[in-house]
Structure 1
Amino acid sequence: MHVDGEPKELSLTRKRILLVIFCLAQFVDRVNNTSLLSALPTLGKSMGMTPSQSTWVISAFQLTFASFLLISGRISDVYNPKTAFIGGVSSICVISICCGFVDGKIPFIICRALCGIACAMTIPSALTLIVNMFPDPLQQARAIGVFGGCGAVAGVCGLLIGAIFVEWTSYHWVFWFVAIVAAPLALAGVFLIPPQIAETTDSLKPTAAKWKSLDLVGVSILTIALVLFIFAVTSGSTESWASAMVLAPLIISILMMIAFFYWETLIPVEKAAIPPRTWFYNNFFVLVVVGLLPYFWWTAMLMIFTIMWQDIFHWSVLSSAVRMMPICVMGFAMSCTGSLSRIFSPKWIILTGLSLCMVATMLLAFHGGKPEDYWPYVFPAFALGSSGAMLIFAHGSIAIFQAVPPSMAGTVGAIFNSALQFGSAIGIAIMTSIETSVEATHGGSQEYAGRAAAFWFLAGIIVLQLISISVYYDRSTDHKPKHEHSEHALAHLSTDSKGKHEDDSIVAVEVCTSPQLEA
């Protein structure tokens, strides 16, 4: 990975090609989920699914994807992120082919859950490779921004792709399309990802030491807790929140999460899946909290309006997908703003994004629920809200990687992406419950009151986010990513005092505080 202490430099062309590969993997992950929103009605009828069973086509993927991100991040940090990335993309290809041929609802939902695990392997490993490939903070910020932008674009493109296949061929081609894209990506990864960006501090350890560093006990406890928690909140949207099916897994998951954090305090820091000190890195916790919003906002728009336009307005699948394009266009446009974090504090950029989301959500709350309201209300809301969500996502990602050492890139990427998925799964479950309960007393789904109430709930979440960033975001480390080199130098300076001259100490201090290391 290093020659004479300096990282090997790849050519700019090679870096751009690799970034495209990683972005396409993000694209595949999102298309894998959102494309089924268009195909769900047809798929449900074909397999004889009830409405509650149909929701698990989406929920099974989200449940495993969010739950297995942490163990994927640990594997990327401890083992080789290149192997994790290629293995994940290859698995997506194989499982997607199987999904296209499966006709039974139970085997199909199992395949969807397995696909979520495969997709979870790609995101933390891709982020680790991006951070290693772009050590310069400015280039890294731009790369992470573009990577995130592909996720936003894929969200709406997946809806459009699903609509095209459902309209002109069959829903089976939604899965085969994913396989067609994933296969060459896996092959390209094998030949084009160089070993020097796939090496991490832990990946150089002996195999036995790697195995011990995984913290299998802690990761297993947390993974099971997350599966149960997401299962509970997802079931709450279709079952009674007071039912045993919701309360039992919810209570058990909370107890297991408490047990996980207690376990992490009992084992050595270097072996912990999420060392307790991680939460005390500057701005880390508040940025994870803010990470709950972007996918929540995007998914809420896709689900609420797709269903309303098709079931109530009787617009075609393709027509509904085209009307979602402002989300795609503005999301990608804002993904190119990564360099702004070198001019302005991410705090102000994130606050701007939250403000845009607030304006957009208020527009939708006052929306009259009529087809003619698309241009005065929905179109500007989609454009403003998607811009805001992307600013939050891109600059939240940039800021959180500035807060921690590069050796934790995979784990940090997993935690942040888990927050994105949790926000989406939990938020949509609560909004669906609010919408359903209000509709029960206000004239049913034909009326807009239930959707308006759900948007008011979303507006309340945004207000809490605005307060948290305004009060708790610390700007003292803006534009100064912390690198493990400086931490090692400080540790060496504090412990190695024998046989050293005073001049050597001065040199060590100069090395660990130099602009080159900070950059």
Structure 2
Amino acid sequence: MPPLLHLSLGEPRRLSLTRKLVLLVMFCFAQFLDTLNTAALFSAIPTIEASMGMSETQSTWVISAFRLTFSSFLLISGRLSDVYNPKTVFIGGVSSLGVLSLCAGFVVDTIPLLVVRAITGIASSMTIPSALKLLVRVFPDPLEQARAVGFFGGCGAVANVGGLVVGAVFVQWASYHWVFWYVACAAFPVALVCVFMIPSQIGETSGTLEPIGAKWKTLDLVGVGILTVAFILFIFSVTSGSTDGWKSPMVLVLLIISVLMVVGFFYWETLLPVGRAAIPPQTWFYNNFSVLFAVALMPYLWWNAVMLIFSMMWQNVFYWSAISSAVHMLPLGIIALAASFTGSLSRIFSPKWIILTSLSFCMVGTVLLALGGGRPENYWPYVFPAFVLGSAGVMMTFTHTNIAIFQAAPSSMSGTVGAMFNGALQLGSAIGLAASSVIETSVEATHGGSHDYAGRAASFWFLLGIVALQFILISIFYDRSTDHKPQPKYDGPAHSTQPSPDCDEKSDTNVTIMPEVN
């Protein structure tokens, strides 16, 4: 297909339908692997914990270490995708994911496993912003793009449950090592296919004409480094609070340092010239962006907290098999997948009302889990309806927050905004799981140990408080004045964050405008 060799950003429609669909499958499979990389471990963690002699707090870090680095490095990955060719970033991320997962399968000690998991999070973070950037290039038509983005998000929901089943199968009939090797076996073919199927020029922007040194300066390595260290210190201090005591000098000092570093990060961002900041300060002032970012902290936290709590309780307390535990969690994924196809509702109703309704479902489901999840016989009257309502609410919140947050920002910022949105998902999960684990451990210490449900119930009340707070934030601060309006038409150089009043749809940059995603 010779014309594809000369594809420019302004000519994405030259791609054949077959090639578009193959690329969509590859991008979605990368999303599937990123989510499965965590979800499969929920079934495997009890076995890993016993095999390596981990404490419950340490086993939480098998998940949190990945989430932490994933969320922190999404920012720089988004900048890499905006400044450099996202094809290179995407293939590099998927290939590294395969190599690191292969290595993780051979690790048999706690500390090395946590280190490899943390590095794996960095590799995975390279795949999501670049995949989104490429996705909107491959599907420039608004309707096609909406469907593609919806399918891309839905694959995460499928992977949540698919990961549980895959992990359970390997734990039951092979070993937990295959949870990691499976990801490696799938990642390498995806990277190889994408080398040949993604046209080299499809992700290029006018920013690629700059010297390499000029591009490198736009990545804000100092800012990202400060923020990453701040997150690590914060989560470590929160996790250590339950074992060393909240009045421990180490815990208090690390908490204070982490907060000061976050403040320092935002101050540093204000000192950088236009186009250099990892999170341009004006991003927070896009309409509804800040409140939507706050809501994005919840979806993965809710799913992961529910799966972690029940997978460990069902296997360690009720002595259910890994397969039985995974099957009982199927409603979470099935309902989430169904709810992922509700994106068209945003054409009829304001995202505000959809998100508020979704958060209401989630609150009802969380209350049911807090009240009745502690006995096997309560699965059908309490846990099952809670899974249905909660997962539907969380997935609709995820879908329509995603739609609204892309409406809030100009398309020239799509890589950075996509990174920030996914970073919020992962960051909320990492910090929330650490806090939830601390709450559960602290309550169990005074209520008879892990066989008592009081600690788990306290974690669900904590989740309820987070969801209720987000409900209040959306109710008060969401501005409906720009509902259903198209995004700003400016889409200048990827390194620029200030729109030019002279730019329009016929801009010489030849970059496809990312339409409103519905």
Whether contact under 8 Å (2:28, 2:152) holds in the other structure is yes
Measured after TM superposition, the shift of residue 165 of structure 1 is 0.6
Give a deviation string over 1:117-160, Cα, whole Å, max 9, x none.
11111111112212333334443333222222211221222121
Within the candidate set 134, 137, 146, 1:132 is matched to 137
- Give 2:332's aligned residue: 327
Say if 1:473 and 1:139 are closer, same or farther in 2 by CA, change over 3 A. farther
Deviation at 1:392, TM superposition (A): 0.9
Partner residue, 1:193: 198
Is it true that 1:16 corresponds to 2:25 in the alignment? no
Trace 1:351-390 onto structure 2 (pairs within 5 A).
Answer: 351-367=356-372, 369-390=374-395
Between 333-342 and 112-121, report the one with greater CA deviation.
333-342
Of 287, 290, 310, the match for 2:295: 290
Distance 2:82 2:436 in 1: 36
When the two structures are superposed, what TM-score results if normalisation uses the length of structure 2?
Answer: 0.90
Cα deviation 1:245-294 (Å, max 9, x = unaligned):
43333222211111111122112122222111100011110110000110
- In structure 1, the residue matched to 2:114 is 109
Secondary structure of 1:68's aligned partner: helix
Counterpart in the other structure of 1:264: 269
Q: 1:255 is aligned with what amino acid?
A: L
Equivalent residue number for residue 437 of structure 2: 432
Distance 1:388 1:13, change over 3 A: farther
Distance of aligned partners of 1:473 and 1:2 in 2 relative to their CA distance in 1, 3 Å threshold: farther
Unaligned runs of 5+ in 1: 494-507
Task: Give the alignment's TM-score, normalised by structure 1.
Answer: 0.90
Structure 1 segments (4+ residues) deviating >4 Å: 1-9, 486-490, 508-512, 516-519
- Among 58, 66, 74, the alignment partner of 2:63 is 58
In structure 2, the residue matched to 1:49 is 54
Q: Does residue 95 in structure 1 map to residue 104 in structure 2?
A: no
| 1:518, distance to aligned residue in structure 2 (A) | 6.9
Separation in structure 1 between the aligned mates of residue 344 and residue 138 of structure 2, nearest angstrom: 17
Once the two structures are TM-superposed, the CA of residue 8 in structure 1 deviates from its matched residue by 4.3
Check the 8 A contact 1:483/1:517 in 2, yes or no.
no
Identify the structure with the greater helix proportion. 1
In structure 2, the CA distance between the partners of 1:7 and 1:375, relative to structure 1 (3 Å rule), is same
Q: Give the equivalent residue in structure 2 for 1:501.
A: none
Counterparts of residues 269-284 of structure 1 (less than 5 Å) = 269-284=274-289
| 1:143 to 2:148 alignment | yes
Deviates more, 1:348-357 or 1:51-60: 51-60
Query: Residue deviations 1:17-53, cap 9 Å, x none?
Result: 2121111111111111221222223223333434443
In 2: Cα distance, 1:48 partner to 1:312 partner: 18
Residue equivalent to 2:510 = none
Q: CA RMSD in A?
A: 2.5
Q: Kindly indicate whether residue 500 of structure 2 is the aligned counterpart of residue 491 of structure 1.
A: yes
Structure 2: how far apart are the matches of 1:119 and 1:324?
25
1:251 aligned residue: 256
In the other structure, the counterpart of 1:80 is: 85
Q: Deviation per CA, 1:154-183: give whole Å up to 9, x if none.
A: 122212111111110111111111111111
1:377 CA drift (Å): 0.8
Q: Which residue of 1 is the match for residue 470 of structure 2? A: 465
Q: Verify the 8 A CA contact 1:77 1:410 in the aligned structure 2.
A: yes
Q: Which residue of 2 aligns with 1:498?
A: none
Larger radius of gyration: 1
Matched length: 502
CA displacement 1:442-486 (0-9 Å, x = unmatched): 333323222222222211211111111122112222233424537
- Given that residues 200 and 407 in structure 1 are in contact (C-alpha distance below 8 angstroms), is that contact kept between their aligned partners in structure 2? no
- Name the amino acid aligned to 2:159: A
- In the TM superposition, 1:296-315 aligns within 5 A as 296-315=301-320
Percent identity for Structure 1 against Structure 2: 65
Distance in 1 (alpha carbons) for counterparts of 2:113 and 2:7:
46
Q: Give 1:391's aligned residue.
A: 396
Q: Contact 1:230–1:422 (CA<8 Å) still a contact in 2?
A: no
**Contact 1:138–1:342 at 8 Å: present in 2 too?**
no
Structure 2: gaps spanning 5 or more residues: 1-5, 508-512
